[in-house]
Amino acid sequence: MISASDLRAGMTFIQDGKLIKVLEASHHKPGKGNTVMRMKLRDVRSGATYDTTLRPDEKFEKAHIDTKNVQYLYTMDDMGFFMDTESYEQYEIPLDTIADEMKYILENMEVKIQFYGSEVIGVQLPSTVVLRVVETQPSIKGATVTGSGKPATMETGLVVNVPDFVEVDELLEVNTAEGTYVKRAGK
């Protein structure tokens, strides 16, 4: 069992027979009354997301999640195809359940898929990935890192706010948890 106050983003638990993944979690102390946990949750099986508040002392059954190293192969129709890097077994995952994660995944990239028992429930990304800029405004002469930045579209379709000096075709390291620019990674 795990209490609501110990739940963090990325954790999975069981509530009313449903497999629930924590997307965001924060303590909130209103002016009067007791502290509550504000949560953004996703029903893993249905894909529905919702916001809720929980008492910090509420208890939940923690779901035991296993992971397996896989390579992303391709997308066809509304499915993503992944291959186990050891057994070469292939797994199909509906794209609507991993739409957010697919913004960070390129063909042949290695990621981990998550299992609850024998059921594939999602994809676990590395903390950062390197993506190529395919579209952005021209760089501004004399731009510095401290500027307000500009939007850049990456090769996966992800839009990231980047410093003004970044140009098309540059490789950038992107934080997958927040979708933010980390640093240049070359050309």
Looking at residue 121, its pLDDT comes to: 82
Looking at residue 83, its pLDDT comes to: 92
Q: What helix, strand, coil percent values describe the chain, rounded to 5? A: 5, 55, 40
What is d(CA 174, CA 138) in angstroms, rounded to the nearest whole number?
20
Looking at residue 101, its pLDDT comes to: 86
Report pLDDT digits (tens) over 111-120: 999 888 888 8
CB-based contacts of 17, cutoff 8 Å, min separation 6: none
Looking at residue 40, its pLDDT comes to: 87
User: Is 70 exceeded by the pLDDT of residue 187?
Assistant: no
User: Is 70 exceeded by the pLDDT of residue 146?
Assistant: no
Stated as kind and residue range, the H or E segment containing 30 is: none
The one-letter amino acid at 50? Y
Domains and their CATH numbers in the chain: 2-62 (2.30.30.30), 66-124 (2.40.50.140), 128-186 (2.40.50.140)
User: Is 60 exceeded by the pLDDT of residue 145?
Assistant: no
- pLDDT, mean of residues 29-54: 82
Looking at residue 65, its pLDDT comes to: 85
Looking at residue 140, its pLDDT comes to: 63
pTM, 2 dp: 0.74
**To 10 degrees, the CA torsion angle through 49, 54, 57, 59?**
-30
Share of the chain above pLDDT 90, in %: 7
> Cβ of 119: how many Cβ atoms within 10 Å?
10
User: Is 80 exceeded by the pLDDT of residue 175?
Assistant: yes
Task: Tell me the pLDDT band of 62, cut-offs 50, 70 and 90.
Answer: confident
- pLDDT, mean of residues 40-57: 83
Looking at residue 15, its pLDDT comes to: 84
User: Is 60 exceeded by the pLDDT of residue 102?
Assistant: yes
